[in-house]
Structure 1
Amino acid sequence: MTSLVSQLFIQGFKREFLSGKSKDRPGAFTRSDLILAGSDWNNLIVGKLSPYINVDSEDPIVRKQSEEALNQELAYASHLGLPAIMFTLRGDNQINLARILHNKMQAGSTYQVWLHLPMESPAVAAAYNYENEEELKELNGGREQNTWEWWNTFRSVCNFEKKLGLALEMTADLPSEEEISRWVGEPIKCLMLSTSLFVTNKKGYPVLLRPHQNLIKSMANLDVQVVVRGAIRHGCSKYYQQYLDHLWQSTSLTDPLVAYARGYEDYLQCPLQPLMDNLESQTYEVFEKDPVKYNEYQRAIYSALLDKIPFEEKEAKVLMIFFPHRK
């Protein structure tokens, strides 16, 4: 599905609710809702909140002004029936924002809330660029510049609200494989790509470097949306879309477990009860598609053998293990 991320309110049109010349200014505060059909608003537009909103500011006037602006924009998003709204998370200390959005979601808002944040914080990326190993070590060791910790704190305050998701910005310098795996386990709704990440191939078309390609392919199985932002650097915007479509189509579900469990990645499964009766062949077939269970059985038995049987007697014991399965 093709979507457009758009600023809800006119950029540069900053409203004033407490004082100032524009407090009583007449006229519309943004574009008319009639410029698009209702079905387009409902399915194609993701609303982006104004960047100047800072409800966690230490300045009480800025904080109160931002709260009024935020409530107005959220009300307008509900009026339009948008499928999702997006805002940028600036750090791990946005508790007031989490409180407001959690209350809105609990009150029955129809839209999802997407948190836009980079895979690597700007400070860590700058340390990489300048090859400052001491600063990089200090930044990686703290929570303040760990964007996953920003996300984890925010969603914890929101009580792990199901309507809360991630709009994850792919950075030029990707984090470690362990950190990428941690991100993949989160509810990513959208992957943000800057046009500056694309390089030009021999034919003059935009392509991504191999690490970024692999990351996108790993996200394809999660059915996330991709948003390309930034200045057009390769003549036409459709070239980016065609290239990403090619990457998406080249990612096939070769793993039968991934194909079978698609759509249930984030759902906990109830444990099975001990078997009392003979089951149908198809039921056993379902059990056999869970390799994790049998790998854990093997690891547990191996650990038990190491614990119970001394190394010098390892050839003196024969252990037979039987599982119910199909022949």
Structure 2
Amino acid sequence: MLARMNPSKVIGLVALAEKPGLAEALRIMRRELARHGLGSCVIETPDALEQCITRCSLLVTFGGDGTMLTVSTLAAMHHVPLAGVNLGRLGFMTTCSVQELPLLAYALQEGAYLTDDRSMLEVVKMGVDGSPGPLRKLALNEVSLIRAQSGKMVDLDAEIDGELLNRYHADGVLVSTPTGSTAYSLSAGGPLVWPMSRVVCVTPICPHSLTNRSVVLPDTMTIRLRPRERRGRFDSMVYSLDGRSAYPIEVGESLMIRKAPETLSLVHLRKQNFGALLRAKLRWQGAEIPTDDE
């Protein structure tokens, strides 16, 4: 969909980590936005982002997919579209390169950009008595329940709408969105999923069984992950959202995971060709790809 800026707000330029070329990219972006009559503010810490986000009509991150993931929860909760300038390596979600900053500024001023809404996961930690914890958390890519100690596998159950899917002996299990299918899930052997698909993937991490494979589910289902003891012993586990902070979890507790009501609006300068993106970012090689003229 096409969108247009709210003239009463500013564009937040998010630079949370020092990267080569960051200062020059910020200088160019602020100059181009000012040239088009758009106000901006530079946001350099997560605390500053929380304080400023209600003033922002749109956020532009400078970094890579990791920076966008850090910002994604707040952006989704406040319904603020998110663009990304790629200063990193892959940049599956980023909007443009530094060289395209003048084009991005022009598109923002004219409302000549596109957005697509990406699904997110809602995670609630359930207590031993089955009661939900006080906080719900959001993830754009994936929720991982993994071992806390290196060299030890863990045991856990995955339930779908209250029915057992499988009991895993593995390094952990991932629940990923279509957006997250190109991230940790891909490394764990999960499938590549078209971004707008209405599914989630449950993928074991290094399972001790060759037949344990990723399962693709409708995103209307509720997934519950339960840590288990093995032969009377519990190997400590943690859960993480989008590879950020790790939180401990004990036997008897569980994670309730479902599609979140919030979505993240990602900004694009042109219509996305996911197949071409996969070829470019993953460096696929095979038969020669014909040009449009052939």
TM interval, shorter chain, is under 0.3
TM-score for both structures, normalised by structure 2? 0.28
TM-score for both structures, normalised by structure 1? 0.26
> Is the helix fraction higher in 1 or 2?
1
> Is the strand fraction higher in 1 or 2?
2
The one of the two structures with greater contact order (alpha-carbon pairs below 8 A, sep at least 6) is 2
Rg larger in structure: 1
